[in-house]
Copies of this chain bind each other. A is one copy, B any other.
Amino acid sequence: MTPLEVPAPTIARLALYLRCLRACRREGVRTISSAGIGARTGISSGQIRKDLSYFGEFGRPGIGYAVDALLEHLSAIMGLNRPHTVVLVGAGNLGRALLGYPGFEESGFRIAAVFDNDPAKIGRSTVGRKILDMATLAEANKEIGAEFGMIATPASAAQEVADALVEAGVRGILNFAPAHLTVPETVTARNVDLTREIEVLCYFVGP
């Protein structure tokens, strides 16, 4: 069900197909071909069929894919057929934006609590959620039971926060701080680095 030999780029594209299929469902499209998904995502139809083939046979030759069914299959493969709970660390600008970002909830990720270590912030509320003391993270997560942690702190604090999240029992970390994290093998960390993205864009734009 989770074959190890699936290429990582395939998984990243699966999330794209999901997005496309959700849009199809909203639009009332019932059936779509790999070429149709390709037109909407910019990925070649062959690549799409190859990606799906790692997980099974979901389509019908001559017809295409049933949108609802493929959506169900891909959701299950990605682990998105059930809700997930997230704790957020860092109640600054970026943290507040993540709290207010509707996309997470729509994909089934609920940010259950926000933590910070700034005494000026602890106890206050932001985007409708109370800011809790970072020092209480492990204790609080016994109650919350979050699987995921998001780091929206300065880079200098990121590793320390990651350690605390691991200690608190999260199994996945989405790190928005521009820092390389070291985590145990039992935990998966993934980085989103805004500065890096615009720098890479700058290279490709050229002089």
| B107 lies within 8 A of A180 (CB) | no
| A172 lies within 8 A of B202 (CB) | yes
Interchain CA distance A178-B107 in the complex, whole Å: 12
Given contacts A93-B101, A96-B97, contact A174 B203 (CB under 8 A): no
A: contact size bracket: 35 or more
Interface of A is mostly: helix
Copies in the complex: 2
User: Is A69's CB within 8 Å of the partner chain B?
Assistant: no
| A interface residues, Cβ below 8 angstroms from B | 2, 11-12, 14-16, 18-19, 40-42, 77-80, 84, 86, 92-94, 96-98, 100-101, 103-104, 106-107, 109, 147-148, 171-174, 178, 180, 182, 188, 190, 192-207
What would 27 A/B residue contacts be, using CB atoms closer than 8 Å? A2-B207, A15-B193, A16-B180, A18-B199, A19-B178, A19-B193, A78-B199, A78-B203, A79-B203, A79-B205, A79-B207, A84-B202, A94-B100, A97-B97, A103-B194, A107-B199, A109-B198, A148-B198, A148-B202, A172-B201, A172-B202, A172-B205, A174-B197, A188-B205, A190-B201, A190-B204, A192-B192
